Chain A
């Protein structure tokens, strides 16, 4: 008998439209979360406002140039909190490990988790360990949750509620490196590249910016769906259009070259240490200055602006001076990239 119900396909895990539909139809309808869906949930507990986030990591391979699954998990969780405007405090980590996995590898993973957490001023305070039979999971999967403190004047940042036409968009550095580094590390692709993942925690950088600037209207880390996904989501959330200047988007030469060969668009590739910031025009230069002094933002660039547009279009001024729309990516981009 063939199954009559729809089956989960790899496209459901891409982070694009199908993922969104799955989340809405299966989870939100049953759990009753409030939209818009942001990287962290905001919970009020007595006088304190907390940001709470959770994530799971299934990246293949577990070790890749620039990081490993453990560093990725800690940085990813910190970033989800940081871009909500929160100060990350505590992390939990659950491990699902395949029988036969090397304990030495596990130690390396745990070492880098501890290192990243300490660097970011965050504590890993609880966890869980499960082992499954060989073949029942691939090497190791990690699931992390994080809690941060959200100052009252930063609640709007995750929700984009103050974003207005004229606001400027900034990113902290070149896009696409994480995807290319992971692809390069997968033995089946047949090319070697020197590209390293940009995997890094961003809370020190975002903390500096938020402490010194008053007009930060939105922040979001550019992960699985890349810059394009975040831009399309932002346009929908703030009810405006966006004009992006392709020539201003930093892309490393090596990434550019590999994208040309493989037919990828760097703007929709995954990143693990990139943040999009929307700031009031007057404060744009100040934000850029702060970013360029920080190792996580030294090649920061202003890439475009919010424009009034009822259709919430994201328009790309192409590198040769033409125009086209940026559309939410669909289908499988690259599976198991984070």
Chain B
């Protein structure tokens, strides 16, 4: 078992497509919350294989896309200090802030380095002990434990020059916003990797409070098609619930150790989401105990509040109300090499994925 080819098996896939065609008797609007799902759907051309009465809409689950201008402006401001090194995931480097991006600042000579994990940032903090290392921490419950682990390690090893600029977020409040905004969605393909950490129970509110369907899905074509089929069945029978399709990684309880480290290092706060504005209790800020590693507490900066580009319709795309083709900027003024909105920068951003894989069908 290689856990790849088996989930891309053509026979199994055509069987699933047949079942979906047979059972999809009404009109269905499903949202894949996670950018990883959108990418897989487009990469494998899944949308070209399922019947037209099933609409797949992309949701707010790409961490880069929901990162506001203000966060980028702050990271840029930090980079201008002579003694600061910004260590960032590559995805973030091209995201436009109000006036610039980390990539542009890097080409001006500011010390901005791409790392593959927070641990690389810690290593830099160890070797460059006369510098302040700022790690912009973004992502949901999936990446938050990793960031939390670096903070704990820096704390216990006395690495006083390691700081995190946290914009970590949690998934459920954004899904709730999408539901309240009335995008008329029947069910959610919920993020498998978030659920691997948190457990599937964090999505129970979708069916319990809003009577909508929910399947926690893996990221391979068979996973996604199976999830679509399960959603159709939930809708058809009028019995919404939380089903786990991605059972090889997800349980109801999740990863206890990872949940505990999030809980220990972070606490909930109101958080700014690009396209949504502030959502109450949706962010993770560093607890006072670990405040010495909080970049915003330790390196004072003064950054003006920022607003998004008025013409960019990221806010409606992230809610599943519109698709990139509806945007006046898409492909004309906004493309991966000169992105206007974050949804065009990230490889998990809806606009980038549509651009990269073509918006055929």
Contact = CB atoms under 8 A, between A and B. Distances in A.
A319 B357 contact: no
A88 interface: no
Interface in B136-176: none
Interface of B: 4, 8, 10, 13-14, 42-49, 94, 103-104, 106-108, 116, 120, 221, 335-337, 347, 355-361
26 contacts: A2-B108, A9-B104, A18-B337, A188-B120, A190-B116, A263-B347, A318-B45, A319-B10, A320-B44, A320-B46, A320-B49, A321-B49, A322-B45, A322-B46, A322-B47, A322-B49, A323-B48, A323-B360, A324-B48, A324-B357, A324-B358, A324-B360, A325-B357, A325-B360, A327-B357, A327-B358
B249 to A, nearest CB: 15
Contacts of A8: 107
Name the residue in B4, B106, B116, B356 with the highest tally of chain A Cβ atoms < 10 Å from its Cβ: B356
Contacts of A324: 42-45, 48, 357-358, 360
Nearest to B356: A327
Q: Which label, helix, strand, loop or mixed, suits the secondary structure of the B interface?
A: helix
A323 B45 contact: yes
A260 B360 contact: no
A166 interface: no
A7 B104 contact: yes
A320 B17 CA distance: 11
A17 interface: yes
A318 B116 contact: no
Contacts of B10: 319-321
Contact of B116 (A10, A189, A256): A189
Contacts of A165: none
Contacts of A257: 4
Name the residue in A8, A16, A315, A321 with the highest tally of chain B Cβ atoms < 10 Å from its Cβ: A321
Interface string A12-51: 0000111000000000000000000000000000000000
A260 B4 contact: yes
Contacts of A330: 335-337
A269 B241 CA distance: 42
A316 B8 CA distance: 16
A11 B335 CA distance: 13
A260 B2 CA distance: 12
Interface in A279-338: 313, 315-327, 330-331
A321 B355 CA distance: 20
Contacts of B357: 324-325, 327
A3 interface: yes
A316 B356 CA distance: 12
Nearest to B345: A331
Given A3-B108, A7-B107, A322 B337 contact: no
Nearest to A335: B114
B337 A320 contact: no
B14 A321 contact: yes
A138 to B, nearest CB: 16
Contact of A318 (B43, B337, B359): B43
A257 B5 CA distance: 11
B126 to A, nearest CB: 15
Given A190-B116, A331-B337, A320 B13 contact: yes
Contact of B8 (A9, A190, A319): A319
Given A318-B44, A320-B49, A324-B358, 17 more contacts: A8-B107, A9-B107, A11-B103, A17-B337, A190-B116, A263-B347, A316-B45, A318-B45, A320-B10, A320-B44, A321-B14, A322-B45, A322-B48, A323-B360, A325-B358, A326-B358, A327-B358
